[in-house]
A and B are shown apart, each in its own frame.
Chain A
Amino acid sequence: MAIFQARDVAIKFGRISAVDGVTFDIEPGTVFTIIGPNGAGKTTLFNLISRLYDTSAGTLTFEGRDITNLPAHSIAGLGIARTFQNLELFDHATVLQNLLLGRHAHTRSNLVAELLFLGSVRREELAHREKVEEVIDFLNLHKYRDSMIVNLPYGVRKVVELARALCSEPKLLLLDEPSSGLNTEETGEMAFWIHDIRDRYGITVLMVEHDMGLVNRVSDKVLALNYGRVITIGTAAQVQSHPEVITAYLGG
Chain B
Amino acid sequence: MRFPYKTDYGQDLDLFKSSSDRFWYGLLALVLLSMPLWVDTFWLGEVSYVFILGIVGIGLMILTGYAGQVSIGHAAFLGIGAYTHAILLSMGTPFVVSLVGATALSTLIGAGVGFPALRVAGIYLAMATFAFNFLVEFVFVRWESMTGGFSGFAVASPEFLGVSFTSGGGFYYICLLSIVLAILLTLNLLRSPTGRALIALRDSETAAQALGVRLARYKTTAFAISAGLTGFAGALFAHRIGYLAPDIFTIMFSIQLLLMVVVGGMGSIHGAIFGAIFVGALPQLIAIMRDYLPDSVARQPGIEPGIFGLLLVLTILFEPRGIYGRWLKIKHYFSVFPMHKKAAFSRQKSYTKSER
For the complex, would chain B's binding face be called helix, strand, loop or mixed by DSSP majority? helix
Are A122 and B13 in touch, CB under 8 angstroms?
Answer: yes
Most chain B Cβ neighbours within 10 Å, of A100, A104, A125: A104
| Complex Cα–Cα for A82 and B194 (A) | 21
A33 within 8 A of B: no
Given A82-B210, A168-B212, residue A90 in contact with residue B356 (CB < 8 A): no
Most chain A Cβ neighbours within 10 Å, of B206, B208, B212: B212
Q: Mark A134-153, 1 if CB is under 8 A from B, else 0.
A: 00000000000000001101
Q: List 22 A-B contacts (CB under 8 A).
A: A73-B209, A74-B212, A76-B212, A84-B356, A86-B355, A88-B207, A90-B202, A90-B204, A101-B197, A101-B200, A101-B211, A102-B211, A104-B213, A105-B211, A111-B194, A114-B189, A114-B195, A122-B10, A125-B193, A126-B9, A126-B13, A154-B351
A129 within 8 A of B: yes
List residues of chain A with CB within 8 A of the CB of B354. Answer: 86
For the complex, would chain A's binding face be called helix, strand, loop or mixed by DSSP majority? helix
A207 within 8 A of B: no
Interface size on A, residues (CB 8 A): 51
Are B9 and A130 in touch, CB under 8 angstroms?
Answer: yes
List residues of chain A with CB within 8 A of the CB of B203. Answer: 89-93
Given A86-B353, A88-B204, A126-B10, residue A50 in contact with residue B210 (CB < 8 A): yes
A43 within 8 A of B: yes
Are B13 and A73 in touch, CB under 8 angstroms?
Answer: no
Contact surface of A with B, Cβ cutoff 8 Å = 43, 47, 50, 52, 72-77, 81-82, 84-93, 96-97, 100-105, 107, 109, 111, 114-117, 121-122, 125-126, 129-130, 133, 150-151, 153-154, 164, 168, 176
Are B211 and A92 in touch, CB under 8 angstroms?
Answer: no
List residues of chain A with CB within 8 A of the CB of B12. Answer: 96, 129
Contact surface of B with A, Cβ cutoff 8 Å = 9-10, 12-13, 185, 188-189, 191-197, 199-200, 202-204, 206-215, 221, 267, 347-348, 350-351, 353-356
| Complex Cα–Cα for A8 and B191 (A) | 44
Are A84 and B200 in touch, CB under 8 angstroms?
Answer: no
Given A74-B212, A102-B211, residue A93 in contact with residue B199 (CB < 8 A): yes
A99 to chain B, nearest CB (A): 10
Are A52 and B9 in touch, CB under 8 angstroms?
Answer: no
Given A73-B212, A77-B212, A104-B197, residue A84 in contact with residue B206 (CB < 8 A): yes
List residues of chain B with CB within 8 A of the CB of A93. Answer: 196, 199-200, 203
Are B196 and A104 in touch, CB under 8 angstroms?
Answer: yes
**CB < 8 Å: which of A52, A102, A117, A126 contacts B206?**
A52
Are B192 and A114 in touch, CB under 8 angstroms?
Answer: yes
Are A104 and B212 in touch, CB under 8 angstroms?
Answer: yes
**CB < 8 Å: which of A76, A91, A133 contacts B9?**
A133
Given A100-B193, A101-B199, A114-B192, 5 other A-B residues pairs in contact with their CB atoms under 8 A: A74-B212, A86-B354, A93-B200, A93-B203, A104-B193
List residues of chain B with CB within 8 A of the CB of A130. Answer: 9
| Complex Cα–Cα for A81 and B211 (A) | 7
Are B356 and A121 in touch, CB under 8 angstroms?
Answer: no
| Complex Cα–Cα for A168 and B213 (A) | 12
Given A73-B212, A75-B210, A96-B12, residue A87 in contact with residue B351 (CB < 8 A): yes
| Complex Cα–Cα for A96 and B191 (A) | 12
| Complex Cα–Cα for A114 and B196 (A) | 12
**CB < 8 Å: which of B185, B193, B204, B209 contacts A109?**
B193
